[in-house]
Amino acid sequence: MDSLPDDCVSKILSYTSPHDACRFSMVSSTLRSAADSDLLWQSFCPSDYRRILSRALHPHTLDSSSYKHLFCSLCHPLLLDGGNMSFKLEKSSGKKSYILSARQLSITWSSDPLYWCWRTVPESRFKEVAELRMVSWLEIRGEIWTRILTANTWYAVYLIMKISHREYGLDRVACEVSVAVGEKVQSGKVYLCEKDEKKGKKGRVLKMEEEEVMGVAAKREDGWMEIKVGEFFSGENDEHVTMSLMEVGYQLKGGLVVEGIEVRPKHHHS
């Protein structure tokens, strides 16, 4: 390997991953030179990185002095489209992930202050989040095209949320979730928060419902909660992906705080 030209070694390393390239750089000085080359790190950057940069809210925060520095900068959340979408590269693989803010989602009755309110919270990466005051019909939908994702990759979809101290009714009925790619639809049921058996529920009913439920919201590292909506495969073709969460059982509910929907690479397909 040491006898090969640097550009040849860089080309070989481009078939590995950013994580592997960093490991190879510690083997020898020849590999270190090839592993730090612009040729290699340009191959790890998204092919549409110029378009992504053109959409950045604060492009001046990125270090583009080299392709390696640019790649590392893109591994940190980058606000796009006026701050309504967040983009990030997975550091180990270079695969793309996005978070659609609540403003980019279709939330039934979100424009009516009787049912929803929009407010700023310091812990959110976005300017505004949507807080549910009271509805009987909860419906949240998001859309994305596979052309902006990494091809031939399994993706998982999560609703990013919190439950306020004014919560009521969210643990009474399971929500229906679905991810549709073209004519392929994956669906299931989830609970937005833990069920409280002290609220007058009958154990028999709970047991029947739990057999169909995929899960409940779990805590994230950033302090928010997330609940899985589904997963899909991003292939070579450009396809339209629709993600939704719905509960239309006419149970009054409130206290749900929606930050957005995340679409991120899934490491193990189930």
Is the Cβ–Cβ distance between 179 and 242 less than 8 Å? yes
Q: How far apart are CA 34 and CA 137, in angstroms?
A: 57
Supply the pTM of this predicted model: 0.88
Which residue range forms the structural domain that includes residue 46? Answer: 6-77
Q: How far apart are CA 68 and CA 72, in angstroms?
A: 6
Q: Are residues 114 and 201 located together in one domain of the fold?
A: yes
pLDDT (tens digit per residue) in 235-255: 999 999 999 999 977 789 999
Is the Cβ–Cβ distance between 217 and 225 less than 8 Å? yes
Identify the band that residue 9 occupies on the pLDDT scale cut at 50, 70 and 90: confident
Identify the band that residue 213 occupies on the pLDDT scale cut at 50, 70 and 90: low
Residue 130 has pLDDT above 90, yes or no: yes
Q: Is the dihedral of CA 45, 151, 270, 206 positive or negative?
A: positive
Alpha helices in the chain (DSSP H): 6-13, 18-24, 29-35, 38-44, 49-54, 67-74, 203-210
Q: Are residues 45 and 151 located together in one domain of the fold?
A: no
CA–chain centroid gap for 217, Å, is 15
Output the six-digit token pair for 231.
């997963």
Residue 130 lies inside a defined structural domain of this protein = yes
Residue 263 has pLDDT above 70, yes or no: yes
According to the model, what pLDDT value does residue 4 have? 67
- What is the Cβ-side half-sphere exposure of residue 204, based on CA atoms within 13 angstroms? 0
- Say how many domains are in the chain: 2
Tell me which of 28-42, 62-76, 135-149, 227-241 is least confident.
Answer: 28-42
Q: What is the mean pLDDT of residues 45-56?
A: 95
Q: Measuring CA to CA, how many Å separate 112 from each of 109, 129, 138, 252?
A: 5, 15, 13, 16
Residue 88 lies inside a defined structural domain of this protein = no
Residue 191 lies inside a defined structural domain of this protein = yes
Q: Are residues 23 and 157 located together in one domain of the fold?
A: no
Quick count: other Cβ atoms within 10 Å of Cβ 38? 12
The better pLDDT of the pair 166, 4 is held by 166
- The CATH number linked to 248 is 2.60.120.260
Residue 89 lies inside a defined structural domain of this protein = no
All residues at 6 or more sequence positions from 199 whose CB lies less than 8 Å from its CB, including other chains: 171, 172
